[in-house]
Structure 1
Amino acid sequence: MSRAKEPQKPFLPFGNPFRMISPKGSQLSPKLLRLLNQFEETLAGRIKMLKPAAKEDILSLSWMRCAVELLCGIHSDIKSLITDLEFPVCDWDDKWIDLYLDNSVKLLDLCISFSSEISRMKQGQLFLQCALHNLGADSSKQFVRARSSLDGWRQHITSKNPRLDNCFCVMDGLAQMLELPKIKNSAKGKVLMQAMYGVKVATLFICSVFAAAFSGSTEKLMDLKVSETYLWAKAFSDLQIFVNTEIRNTDSSRRMTVLKELEAVDTGVQKLYPIVQDGVDPVEAKILQNSASDLGRFSDKLSLGLDLLAKEVDRFFQIVLTGRDALLGNIRTRIGDSISDQVETRKKKLGPAIR
């Protein structure tokens, strides 16, 4: 992707978030600086590993599973960082808590939408199984059924999933929340917010890619502008340019889908359909057998890829949900302790009057 000579405008109109979390005169202790650097270096390493060796690997189900593994890793890393910071929830600003809770519920919504689309594609496999089963019998009636199943697969796979429509609205909301709250008199808070910014950028990018892959539309594919001051900025920029460029090139070719395994199945269906439709003579019998075998192999690969991706999305869902529940539990404990303290204080004040 060529770069314009003039500086590019950021995708979101809120300027440089690093400036907002680095007020003048603020200094981090060596320990906090070490923890922050370790987190950002780990994030950079994870992002580098996600960049595929070849453009053909982009948007394969195996690459998408690796992308969700990255999300699981970095969301686990932020939990470890909070522990290492020795920064209990009782010391968090209410703005940070609201931000975390709002972000987490949006991520859960996205996971549900993506899981719904994976399930829908898996359901489409039933049509292919029926078609291949009917092609195993040498009967004109079975061929008619096979053709009907292939038609059913085409209609199913090109239909729209209503749950995906919500993805773009949710991602727009996440994008607007990338802006970080100002940090005052809290070095640990500064480290936490800067680390969370990296997590949110990587998460939003991957969710944007998934939405484009599942919807077949690149109109809302995001290009996030990140300050070069972050240790992970270059790795992220390289990955984003590489992936987004290839996705847009794929979309411009106007193929049915940008998912590699699904594209292979569609190619197999297109090759098989005319033979089934026109009937098979002895000369074409071998071609039919080979085409059916290829389609079965492509279908099996798609099914396996969807199963593995579904498991990884579910694992990410559980990580986000567990983190959210833990935070809510800490908040309830904090509120309970506060109420208990107020009751004890009131008892002490009323004690002399009662006696």
Structure 2
Amino acid sequence: MSRPQDPHRSFFPFGNPFRKISPKGSHMSPQLVAILNSFEATLAERLRKLIPKNKDEILSLSWMTLAMELLCETHNDIKTLITDLDLPLSNWDEKWIDMYLDISVKLLDICIAFSSELSRLNQGHLLLQCALHNLSSASPKQFVRACSSLDGWRQHINSRNPRIEKCGTILDNLVGSLNLPKVKNSAKGKVLMQAMYGVKVKTVFLCSVFAAAFSGSAKKLLYMDVADTYSWAQPFKSLQNVVNEEIRVTYSNGRFTVLTELETVDALVKILYPTIQGDQDSVETEPLRKTVEETGRAAERLSRGLDQLAKGVDDFFQVVLAGRDALLYNLRKGATVSVRISGSNIAEQIVD
């Protein structure tokens, strides 16, 4: 993949950004209302699918993979909505284009950070495999090697990824982008901005959850106050409350990770490590064998989960990149447009 302290944080950098777009100044036809209602109903349903039935599901790799899948679907929905609106690119306000391009490049940065962390976590699987292989032998010499591998795994897993540490700044910037651009006398524009607001809230929230999970800290969690006037507000708030609270409680209890599969492996390693460090003659063979087998199964589940989640993150990267490329292609086809990103004008080009 290549690209081009307080957990209860609330951001209002430009006044209150969490307001419903007023329909004053333009008339929404029944067709536009139906398009918007359908989009928001689907968004609400996808948010409900992510509300865990029990706490054990929160921050499992399968839950995180589902979150990425549903996030991809929501971003595809916004592309469908734009098509349904039949809003020519020439009618797009320049600030909408600025906002989209700026947000997309930040999301690509976050995807790259997440992918690097998933790859780093999966690298530890090799150390576990080496340790478990050595433990299949009764040789004291092999036990010493297994201890070294397990020690290396623990140090590797407890280290921090500098790319993840930078996600907090990116997320803060994305929160600022939640402020909705003003739309004058354009019913279609109002529909587009309201739909994009829902996409942005869901995206920023899930990215903050992933960043908190990978960073080992609840400081990157975001608490967003969405107005009840949005039809998807209630499922979003329910999801945000249950997930954020569980992450916060988990870290406050001193656990180094909220990833359930990783925690399972770590708990088994903590059993193995002291067992093979002592007098080798006193090690009971059968209990050790069972623990080694259980650790092997847990390690395989962790590795498979990391691989599946990495694919989900890559799929999201491709969805964001494809949307960005499509917009830039249409800009090039239509007319030369100067876009302002991060305070400086740049020429955006696509190479066929």
- The whole-number CA distance in structure 2 between the counterparts of 1:71 and 1:43 is 10
- How is 1:20-31 mapped onto 2 (pairs within 5 angstroms)? 21-22=21-22, 24-31=24-31
How far apart, in 2, do the equivalents of 1:16 and 1:143 lie? 59
1:286 & 1:168 partners in 2: Cα distance?
47
Superposed counterparts of 1:194-343, under 5 Å: 194-281=194-281, 284-335=284-335
Distance 1:252 1:282 in 2: 37
Q: Determine the C-alpha separation between the residues in 1 that align with 2:308 and 2:84.
A: 32
> TM-score by structure 1 length?
0.90
Q: How does 1:36-185 map to 2 (within 5 A)?
A: 36-185=36-185
1:32–1:191 CA contact under 8 A, matched in 2: yes
Contact 1:43 1:232 in 2 (8 A): yes
Aligned positions, number: 329
Q: Distance in 2 between matches of 1:244 and 1:283?
A: 42
- Aligned partners of 2:61 and 2:305 also within 8 Å: yes
CA distance in 2, matches of 1:94, 1:221: 31
Structure 1 residue 280: deviation in Å? 3.3
Please tell me whether the aligned partners of residues 25 and 184 of structure 2 are also in contact (alpha carbons under 8 angstroms): no
Segments of 4+ in structure 1 off by > 6 A? none
Separation in 2 of the partners of 1:336 and 1:236? 39
Conserved? CA contact 2:23–2:190, under 8 Å: no
Quick one: distance in 1 between partners of 2:247 and 2:18?
Answer: 28
Find the counterpart in structure 1 of residue 3 from structure 2.
Answer: none
Calculate the TM-score normalised by the size of structure 2.
0.91
Deviation at 1:24, TM superposition (A): 3.0
User: For residue 210 of structure 1, what is the amino acid of its counterpart?
Assistant: F
Q: SS at the partner of 2:78?
A: helix
Q: Larger radius of gyration, structure 1 or 2?
A: 1
CA distance in 2, matches of 1:205, 1:325: 24
Q: Does structure 1 conserve the Cα–Cα contact (< 8 Å) formed by 2:183 and 2:189? A: yes
Check whether the contact 1:217–1:251 (CA below 8 A) recurs between aligned residues. Answer: yes
Please give the per-residue CA displacement for 1:170-221, whole angstroms capped at 9, x wherever unaligned: 0000001100110011111110000000000000000000000001100121
In structure 2, the partner of 1:191 is 191
Amino acid aligned to 1:183: V
Measure, in 1, the Cα distance between the counterparts of 2:12 and 2:298: 40
Q: Aligned equivalents of 1:106 and 1:9: distance in 2?
A: 20
Using the TM superposition, give the Cα deviation of residue 26 of structure 1 relative to its aligned residue in structure 2, in angstroms. Answer: 3.3
Which amino acid is the alignment partner of residue 270 of structure 2?
Q
Match of 1:352 in 2: none
Q: Distance in 2 between matches of 1:282 and 1:79?
A: 65
Partners of 2:117 and 2:229 lie apart in 1 by: 37
Q: Deviations over 1:28-78 (max 9, x none)?
A: 111101100000000000000111110110000000001101110100000
Give, in angstroms, the shift of residue 335 of structure 1.
1.4
Given that residues 16 and 227 in structure 1 are in contact (C-alpha distance below 8 angstroms), is that contact kept between their aligned partners in structure 2?
no
Alpha-carbon separation, structure 2, partners of 1:16 and 1:128:
47
CA distance in 2, matches of 1:140, 1:178: 60
Deviates more, 1:278-287 or 1:94-103: 278-287
Corresponding residue for residue 19 of structure 2: 18
Contact kept in structure 1, 2:228 and 2:234, CA below 8 Å? yes
Alpha-carbon distance, 1:9 to partner: 10
Secondary structure, counterpart of 2:229 in structure 1: coil
Structure 2: how far apart are the matches of 1:112 and 1:97? 23
Distance apart, 1:283 and its partner CA = 5.9
Quote the Cα distance in structure 2 between the aligned partners of 1:67 and 1:27.
35
CA contact (8 A) 2:272 2:291 kept: yes
Supply the distance in 2 between the matched residues of 1:320 and 1:228 (Cα, whole angstroms): 28
Aligned residue number for residue 342 of structure 1:
none
Structure 1 residue 22 displacement after superposition: 1.4
